[in-house]
Chains A and B, each alone.
Chain A
Amino acid sequence: MRIGLFRLLKLFFASLFLQSSWSFHSMQSLGFLVIAMMGVDQKKQEFLQQHSRTFFNTHPYMAGFIIGAMLNAYEKEHSLDDLKKHIMVSQSAFASFGDTLFWQTIRPALLAIAIITGVKYGVIGVIIFLLFYNLIHIYFRFYGFTTGYKIGWDVIYILKDKKLQWMQRIFESIGAFSIGLMPIILEKEVNLIFLIPLSGIFLILLWKRLAPILILTFVFILIIINLILL
């Protein structure tokens, strides 16, 4: 089964607005329905509007996998209960994987590179970040729709793909290397004596899962102490 270029582009464009109406109660439900409407013909849209008011929340870049599979099942006239059951299962699996891959690994790794290259060499760092980050997530959006539509609900097994696990490992390594390299941004004249103990203290606070606002308060206390001592 192939999705067709025009329909794929419509789905991709709609997917950019998945979270526009995000709310605590319905989460991405309206966005999900808007994207699904782009994937079916005029006659089926009204039916879909009335019967697909399902709760939906997943990682925004991974939503294509689920929506593609849903369109496949919809065209094969699976029952609505069956559709809802599969959506419920796959949305949490893709959400968890997407959060780890994008928010926790790829984005911070590319941002760390952008910080180093941006501060050292200017706008090139920002361009590198935008180029690679967008290439990856746009690829995932397209790949999600096409693969989901092609293989249906088996798309969930894609999460076990070794290539994805390798991708995660590569970006973890890049991120870790960049973090180790981070001090080179500071000028050589800057006294680095406090850098290691302060990093250690902040790391302990992060590991203790202290609220971000308390960590920021600690930063202010440090700065005020420094101002008083001056």
Chain B
Amino acid sequence: MVILLTLIGALILLDKYAVGEFGLSQPIVSGAIIGALCGDVQVGIFVGALFQLVFLANLPIGKDVPPDAQAAGIAGCGSYFLLKSINQNEPNLMIVFLVGILVSVIGNYLDIIVRRINEGPFYRFLRDNKKLYICHFSGIVMAFLRGVFLFLPIFLLVSIIRFPFSAAAFNKDFLLIVIFALGIANGIYLYLKRQSFYFLVIGAICALVYFVF
């Protein structure tokens, strides 16, 4: 299962920027894909949605390389189902969250390394312009390998280490509140402008009505 999750994760991660950018690597989508493969789409979507909320305002603008939200979503969902298959009960969401955040930071560094390695093929092309296609498409191989090097050790560790936290000693609701608060703050940060403020208020009133009735 570790190898399978690693390969699927690395393939999905190609969509981040190397191939297509169809949105398949967004945490909520990758969560649904991994969930479907592991037999529970709904849980996959839920875990993916949590990571999506955390990284909603994570904008890859210009040269900026933000924490790897896509890798975090894949690692988080993969870890969830891996822990579930080992323990045969509901995994601790805190561990899943920790794994995802750790991967987002490591993924960010690996991303920078891969982008530096990609300079090699560019200079090779400058020396020999007949190698354009080889030099360009070697970037896809590098992006795939980045995914493999990122997910394989993480999934192996998750499957080997026995975590000391018991599910009972952890307040799942509080983690959800914190993640949702971060998601809402991300959203407000993106959309708080004069013309869209009213829509934010209308949405909040609708939510309030839902909770009251």
Interface on A for B, CB 8 Å cutoff?
16-17, 19-26, 29-31, 33-34, 37, 49-50, 53, 60-61, 95, 99, 103-105, 107-109, 111-112, 114-115, 118-119, 122-123, 125-126, 129-130, 133-134, 137, 169, 172-186, 188, 190-192, 194-195, 198-203, 205-207, 212-213, 215-216, 219-220, 222-223, 226-227, 230
Contacts and interface: CB of A to CB of B under 8 A. Distances in A.
Among B136, B143, B192, B195, max chain A CB count under 10 A is at B136
Contact of A21 (B63, B105, B118): B118
Interface stretch (B3-11, B13-21, B156-164): B13-21
Contacts of B211: 183-184, 188, 192
B28 A216 contact: no
A118 B28 CA distance: 8
B90 to A, nearest CB: 16
Among A109, A118, A223, max chain B CB count under 10 A is at A118
Contact of A223 (B118, B138, B175): B175
Interface string B173-188: 1111111111111111
Given A20-B140, A31-B136, A137-B21, A119 B49 contact: yes
Contacts of B182: 198-199, 202, 215, 219
B197 A181 contact: no
Contacts of A24: 63, 115-116, 119
A118 B32 contact: yes
Given A21-B139, A177-B203, A182-B180, 4 more contacts: A20-B143, A25-B119, A192-B177, A226-B171
A34 B174 contact: no
Nearest to A114: B28
5 contacts: A20-B136, A26-B119, A104-B190, A182-B184, A212-B66
Contacts of A227: 169-171
Given A37-B132, A198-B178, A183 B20 contact: no
A196 B120 CA distance: 49
A16 B21 CA distance: 7
Contacts of A19: 17-18, 21
B23 A133 contact: yes
A180 B200 contact: yes
Contact of A17 (B136, B183, B201, B205): B136
A103 B60 contact: yes
Contacts of A126: 28-29, 32, 45
Contacts of B59: 99, 103-104
A42 to B, nearest CB: 14
B191 A30 contact: no
Interface in B194-212: 195-197, 199-207, 210-211
Contacts of A137: 21-22
Given A17-B137, A20-B140, A129-B28, A30 B125 contact: yes
A107 B25 CA distance: 13
Contacts of A111: 26, 28, 52, 56
- Which 5 pairs across A and B sit closest by C-beta, in order of nearness? A180-B203, A179-B187, A202-B185, A21-B139, A198-B181
A134 B24 CA distance: 10
A207 B186 CA distance: 10
A184 B17 CA distance: 32
A103 B190 CA distance: 10
B164 to A, nearest CB: 12
A34 B133 contact: yes
Nearest to A26: B122
B31 to A, nearest CB: 8
Interface in B81-116: 94, 101, 104-105, 115-116
